[in-house]
Amino acid sequence: MLFLGGFDPLFILCFMGALVIAVTVHEFAHNYVAYQMGDPTPAELGKLTLNPLAHVWWQGWIIFVLVGFAPLGFAQINPRRMRDPRWGYFFAVAAGPFSNLLLAIVAAIPARLLFGPVLMPFASPAAGSNVVALFLGLMVFQNVLLFMFNLLPLFPIDGWSMVYAVLPSDLAYTWESWRQYSQYILFGIIFLSFVAPQLNVLGTLIFDPVFRIYFTLIGA
């Protein structure tokens, strides 16, 4: 997504800073809720912190810079160590994307109060000249994007695990057996978005609702 703002150094700095915050909060939320559900793994691994160094997967970031898509962090939680493995796991997984939605709402409040409708600051020269407007707009957009993307019910995205956790045991077994095919679908969608952008698969699934939520939050 760096191309949306070209290679302007200020844009890249704001873009990466907002993304680091979004990923850190996302992974921290997974770990914190898992710990509250009885899983000591996050504490044992030193994940109960908002220090980005504890959460980001640097190899993924390198791939992201090169190709524009990659996993940026991992939460190593263990539902078997939770008091209620089924629902504890569900809430721990759901905490990630919903923490991003909450962060988007928090960022949208000063964006609306200070600047009114921050209309796509990564594409607006007027907004792009204001580093605060640029950063807040990117914070809202990126967190909404992470929220929506992670709700996709495709492995290994959070949405797949959330569906798995709420299904009864027989359906969960079937869902698990489809995991690899689900992953192929995800890779296929991402591949098509690069080689056949006119099909607009990701746009229909992700970006259309992302923009609707984004403009709603900033008051446009």
Helix 179-195 and helix 169-177, axial crossing angle in degrees, nearest 10: 50
- The amino acid present at 171, given as its one-letter code, is L
- pLDDT tens digit string along 96-142? 999 999 999 999 999 888 887 655 555 444 444 588 888 999 999 99
- Tell me which residue has tokens 């956790």: 165
Alpha carbon distance 23, 29 (integer Å): 10
- Nearest-CA neighbor of 73 among 39, 44, 47, 108? 47
- Nearest-CA neighbor of 166 among 107, 86, 92, 94? 86
Q: pTM for the full model? A: 0.89
- pLDDT tens digit string along 196-217? 777 777 778 888 899 999 999 9
Q: What is the pLDDT of residue 44?
A: 97
Alpha carbon distance 141, 207 (integer Å): 10
Q: How confident is the model at residue 39 (pLDDT cuts 50, 70, 90)?
A: very high
